[in-house]
Each structure stands twice: as structure tokens, then as C-alpha cells.
Structure 1
């Protein structure tokens, strides 16, 4: 009886954390769509303030702890590079496609994560888990089909926006798997501090090359500033909660849990933007929700006791790099 209660508590914890990050993802999507509707095209600048927030908070904690890095700095630099590119592509997509399409297509991260965790982390999946993930991905075809003929609120170039999101999810998958690896080596604070520090540097470097004209063209107002603040705040919280989900369940279930943000995106589009949502979106969401249920009921990592991991050492990192 006590064991069953413990299992239920662990599953409930994973589901609760998953829904918190799902709500935060919906908030970031709303902020990005609002910024894009005001004619602001500065995805790298949006991300810069997120990384600055992480570096400020977790970097300060790291300095206070005065601990030696548990992983070589260049691993964190590589992680920051792929994370920045993922954020850039997905935020850029809001210039061309709708909030509903962007959030629904985020689930393309799932097959990337499955392949990468299989190859890099040695994770093994059961046939029911593959069926659940495949069911989630099946919703992608419905979104693309809807965007192909949607002329009411789907964005000025929806298929281009969809392609940018799908490309961005590959970088997100690389970032998620890297974060899962570091988190399960027990250095969550170090991960967020270094991701924020190097993410800020990479973003600033790319802004100086690719986004100077866009920054000069921005008509700053109180609303625009608050939207940037809202985006930075929600994404910083998102990054802060994500490591807990990755530690308790892994990158695959984490990304499957984010699918419920689609529901919030549909609500925003209908009630805030007063736009019609094609019936295929609802069908796509239902298909994805079914896939999430199938996968989560067959995911042992979310119901078993938490494993213990050794801290990441230079020897381990050198072995992985070999």
C-alpha cells in the first residue's frame, strides 16, 4: 500500500511539474506572438534578456558557492549555442505562422529526443512508448494540412513558419538531451548559471551581426517593453523548472507534457485574437493528448524511485568527447 502511494506521488509530481512548464510555455508563446504583431522582429534580443536573467540569478548563486566546475566550460558553450539557435528559429516563426501552429508543431521535438536519448544516453523505449510518441507526432500532419489551406489567422507565410519551428525543435532536442545529461549528474545550479552566461554571450555576438538594423527599427513603447519583460520572466522561470522535470522523468516525457500548452494557445487565439480555429487543430490536439496518455502509462522512469547519479567529472566528459 505504501509503495503504491509512493508511486502515485511520484507520478503526480511529474505531471504537476509538466503542467507548470506547459503553462509557462504558453505564456512565452503569447508574449512572442504579441511582440511579432507589433512589427518587432528581434528573436535574439528576446533570448538575450532570458539568458541575462539566468546568469544574474544562478551565476550569483554559483559565485557564492565558490565551487569548481563539474564539467568543462566548452560543453556548456556548445549547449548554449544549440539552445540559442532553437530559441531563434522558433521565435522567428511567429513572424510567419500562428501561435496555435507554433505550439502544436513543438511536439516534433519528441522524435528527435527519442533518437538522441537512445544514441547518447542509452535510453531504451518499449513498443507502447513508441506507439504513444508516434501518435503524438501523427498530429503534426493534421497541423500542416490545416495550415496549407488556412487563410484566416494562420500567419502571412504559415508553411515557412512551420518549417522554422520544425528546424528549431531539432536544436531544442539537442539542448534538452544535454540538459538531462547534466541535471542527472547533480549540478542543476551550475547548468543554469553556465547556460545563462554563455547564452548571453552567444546571443550578444549574433545580435551584433544579424539584428542591429532590427533593433534600430523598433518603436519602443511601454507595452513593448513590458512584453519583453514578460517574455524574459516567463522563459527564465521555464528554464528554472525544466531541470526538475528532466531529472524526474527525462527529456521525452518532458516534451510530451508540453503538449497541453496547445490547449492554452487555442484559447488565446479564440478569445484574445478573436480568430477562427480550424477543426483540424482540435483533432490534432486530441491525437496528441492520446499519445501522451499512452506514453506516460508505459514510462517506468516516472513511476520508479529516483536513481542516484555520480557528479560529472572531467574524466567522464573526456570519455564522452572521445
Structure 2
């Protein structure tokens, strides 16, 4: 039996609330990308570049002011930067081929990947109550699939099949990025993570823009109102990146990805109040199911919440070993992964 008193713990409520705010931010970026695609603007890497530049300037300034050595080797951040840039590129690119709701639906592919990666590499324990929470969340989203309104929305897009495949590839990279960020934020430092991700993300984005999008940017005809979704996307994704490490540190990568499931439902609510559209009642039932699943998942601290890699194991490794991993002892890193 689930103890409902656990649901009202400070950690649970803050985690759920923060997760839903992040979900709203993702919803806003989805609307921005969709609007830009409708206006014929196809520059996915350029959309993300401004976010990385903001991260580099804001958090890089703090990092320089601290004048402290990096806790993680710089080449870890290069790999993370490449993965993150390509994940953003693929998901934003998919809006050129498929519908907004299809993108948000297929993003849930990241959940089983995150669960698998955190179980293997971070030694996260997923006991019965946590698995129940995950199942309830995904079941809530499945309800949306069977909605007539939702089925009609999925028909949008110039090449839905191609767009769906691109989303799945991007979701896989997002999962790898999220798990890597969780490991780094728990063992290194949030400001360092954001600064280095911003620096290397900006570099990788600039290179990709020069190769793939230079001609596209020159040919873009900025119609009236196109600047608002472009810069709105950058501001929203910057806020998202700034807050994600907070949720990763307190609740873990799986909680983050489960929280983002409600982005589809938030988009429906926006359509109801902003565009006065009528939607199927199953959307509201789905939203309630996802929130209930989040409460079940996060409200069971004593059953093995996601912890830093050396916490909660039957034979915990000394933290020193993980610090050696971060400092660049690659052989020990391989040994730990094999264990």
C-alpha cells in the first residue's frame, strides 16, 4: 500500500511543481518551433545556438569569478555538448515533417532509455512502487493516443513517418544527455556543468551552422512576427536548461522525463484557452493519470529514490572512487561500469 503522507513531503511537492514548470517551458518551445516551421524557417541549430551562448555567458562568468579548477575533465563536456546539440537539432528538425503532438508523444521513448541507463551506470534501484509510478505515467499518455482529437492531430506534417523517426533518434540522445547531466551534477557542480555545456554547445552549434545552415539563414525571409517565436524559443530553453540540473540533483533523470510527459496536455490546455478549441475528455483523464504517476514515483523516498551513484547500494563504493572517475581515471571508470 502506498503511504499518501509521503506524497506531501517537501521534496515530492517541489519536484512535481518544478517538473511541471519545466514541462510548460518545453511546451512553449514546441509551439515556437511549430510556428517557425509554418513560416518556412528551417534553422534548427540556429534556434539552439542562442541558448548555448546565453549559458556560456551567464554561467561562464560565474565560473571565471570563482577561479576554481574544473571538477570534471573537459573532454567529458565536449562529448556531452555534441550529444546535446545533435539531440536539439533532431527534435527541432522533426517539426518540419510531423505534427507538434507527434513530437511530444514520441519524446516518451526517452523514458525506457533513461531507466535502462540509470540502472546500468548510476546503479539506480527501481523497486515496485517506482515502476508502478512509471507505468501509471505512461498509461496516462497512452490515453491520449486513443483520443479522436489526438488521432486527427497526428495526421499533420509533410512526412510524418520521417519526422517520427527523427524524433525517436533525438529522444535517444536526450536520454543519454540527461543521464550524463545527472551524473555530472551530482558529482561535479551545476554552474560548471551549465558553463561548459554552454561553451562547447556554442562551438559545436557554430560549426554545424556554418556547414548546414549558412545558406538557409541567408535565404530566410523574416516575416512579420517571426522574431518573437525565434527569441522566445531561446529564452524558454535557457530557463529550461538552467533549472533541469536542480531537478536532476533532487529527483533524478527519470523523474525529469516523466514530468515532461505532461507537455502534451499543457499544449492542449493552451489551445483550449488561447484558441478556444474543443478537445476530447480523455486529455484531462490522461493529465490526472500522469500527475498521479509522478506522485507515486517521487513519494517513496525510503524505497530507493535516485541517489548519487554511491548511495543506496548494498555494497556502496567509497565516494573517492567516483571522484577519481571525474578526475579522469578512465581505467577505473571502465572497471566501475563493468561492476
Does the alignment reach a TM-score above 0.5? Answer: yes
- Once structures 1 and 2 are overlaid, which stretch shifts more, 274-283 or 129-138? 274-283
What is the CA distance between 1:7 and its match in structure 2? Answer: 6.8
In structure 2, distance between residues paired with 1:247 and 1:160: 35
Asked if the contact 1:147/1:159 (under 8 Å) is kept, the reply is: no
Structure 2: state its 5+ residue gaps: 313-317
2:135 is paired with a residue whose SS is: helix
- Once structures 1 and 2 are overlaid, which stretch shifts more, 43-52 or 101-110? 101-110
Match for residue 244 of structure 2? 242
Asked if the contact 2:101/2:153 (under 8 Å) is kept, the reply is: no
Match for residue 182 of structure 1? 184
Match for residue 160 of structure 2? 158
Match for residue 55 of structure 1? 56
Residue 217 and residue 28 in structure 1: after superposition, are their counterparts in 2 closer, same or farther (change >3 A)? same
Within the alignment, does 1:24 sit opposite 2:37 as a pair? no
What is the CA distance between 1:125 and its match in structure 2? Answer: 0.3
Asked if the contact 2:60/2:195 (under 8 Å) is kept, the reply is: yes
Match of 1:230 among 229, 232, 251: 232
Matched length: 319
Match for residue 208 of structure 1? 210
What is the CA distance between 1:274 and its match in structure 2? Answer: 6.6
Residue 13 and residue 285 in structure 1: after superposition, are their counterparts in 2 closer, same or farther (change >3 A)? closer
In structure 2, distance between residues paired with 1:304 and 1:320: 20
In structure 1, distance between residues paired with 2:169 and 2:187: 28
Match for residue 104 of structure 2? 103
What do you get for the CA RMSD once the two structures are aligned?
3.3
In structure 1, distance between residues paired with 2:288 and 2:140: 8
Structure 1: state its 5+ residue gaps: none
| 1:218-247 Cα deviation digits (max 9, x unpaired) | 112462222221111110110100111001
1:211 is paired with a residue whose SS is: helix
Using structure 1 for the length normalisation, give the TM-score: 0.86
What is the CA distance between 1:36 and its match in structure 2? Answer: 1.1
What is the CA distance between 1:29 and its match in structure 2? Answer: 1.3
Asked if the contact 1:182/1:191 (under 8 Å) is kept, the reply is: yes
In structure 1, distance between residues paired with 2:170 and 2:306: 32
Residue 276 and residue 82 in structure 1: after superposition, are their counterparts in 2 closer, same or farther (change >3 A)? farther
In structure 1, distance between residues paired with 2:6 and 2:139: 34
